[in-house]
Amino acid sequence: MKIFPAIDIKDKKCVRLVKGDFDNKTEYEMSPVDQAQKYKDHGFLNLHIVDLDGALSGNTINLDIIEKIVINLDLKIEIGGGIRNFESIKKYVDVGAETIILGSAAIKDQNFLKEACLKFPNKIALGLDAKNGFLCVSGWTESSNKATIDYLKEVNDYGVSRLIYTDINKDGTKSSPNFLETVKIAEVSNSPVIISGGVSSIADIKKAKDLNNKNIVGIIVGKAIYDGDIKLEELAKELNA
């Protein structure tokens, strides 16, 4: 199972939100590039990055930071946050991002998701961010009134490279991921699924592995690292366990 340490960027800093609330955030001293270097030093090759400025503005605000991380550190990056057009996708592809995560724009316009998968084969991931079973959009500030499973069934054959499922009620809370709902998503999805939101300890990583679901291929770890609940040395051992 792949482990994706997370970096959320706002105002050029590493931050973490609680349940996607921009008014409930913690800023950390380390810069995104330095944090990425720290992850690489511990053996992590895959990173999950969210441009929170981009999520709010719809622009590739922190493209320069992503480029530095990819070029200087040679890491595999999945990047999301406000990617709403082909131009933005191309910018991230051109600086070497491995995977581009489409969320709100894909939910609001299924045809955009379909065309993106055709134009950028094996590059597009679908971010499904849900609260109480319904998808949320626009930086999690509004509900789409669309049931997660229903939407997934409608776009299941578009050819996304991976699916990232986040339970917003869990994100940033360190209260363990919503494993039950993630398994339901994985059973429906034609694409590999990554667990996101709420990882609190190494026990959550072990539980994800013990799900024994071949379609669940990775897990994202964020706030628990920054707050010291999970030591990188300990997490790194799970890479090859």
pLDDT exceeds cutoff 90 at 112: yes
**What does the radius of gyration of the chain's CA atoms come to, in whole angstroms?**
16
Cβ(221)–Cβ(205) below 8 Å: yes
pLDDT exceeds cutoff 70 at 138: no
User: Ramachandran region of residue 97, left (φ > 0), alpha (ψ -120 to 50) or beta?
Assistant: beta
pLDDT digits (tens, 9 = 90+) for 67-102: 999 999 999 999 999 899 999 999 999 999 999 999
Task: Provide the pLDDT for residue 172.
Answer: 75
Task: Provide the pLDDT for residue 212.
Answer: 83
Q: Return the active site residues.
A: 8, 129
pLDDT digits (tens, 9 = 90+) for 190-230: 999 999 999 999 999 999 999 989 999 999 999 899 889 99
Per-residue pLDDT band at 140 (split at 50, 70, 90): low
pTM above 0.85, yes or no: yes
Per-residue pLDDT band at 143 (split at 50, 70, 90): low
Write the single-letter amino acid at 210: D
Average per-residue pLDDT in the chain? 91
Cβ(160)–Cβ(126) below 8 Å: yes
Task: Give the list of residues 6+ apart from residue 138 with CB closer than 8 angstroms, or none.
Answer: 55, 104
pLDDT exceeds cutoff 80 at 23: no
pLDDT digits (tens, 9 = 90+) for 156-195: 999 999 999 999 888 777 889 999 999 999 999 999 999 9
Q: What is the pLDDT averaged over residues 141-157?
A: 87
Task: Provide the pLDDT for residue 26.
Answer: 74
- Domain with residues 2-237, CATH architecture: Alpha-Beta Barrel (3.20)
pLDDT exceeds cutoff 90 at 145: no
Task: Provide the pLDDT for residue 169.
Answer: 85
Domain ranges (residues) in the chain: 2-237
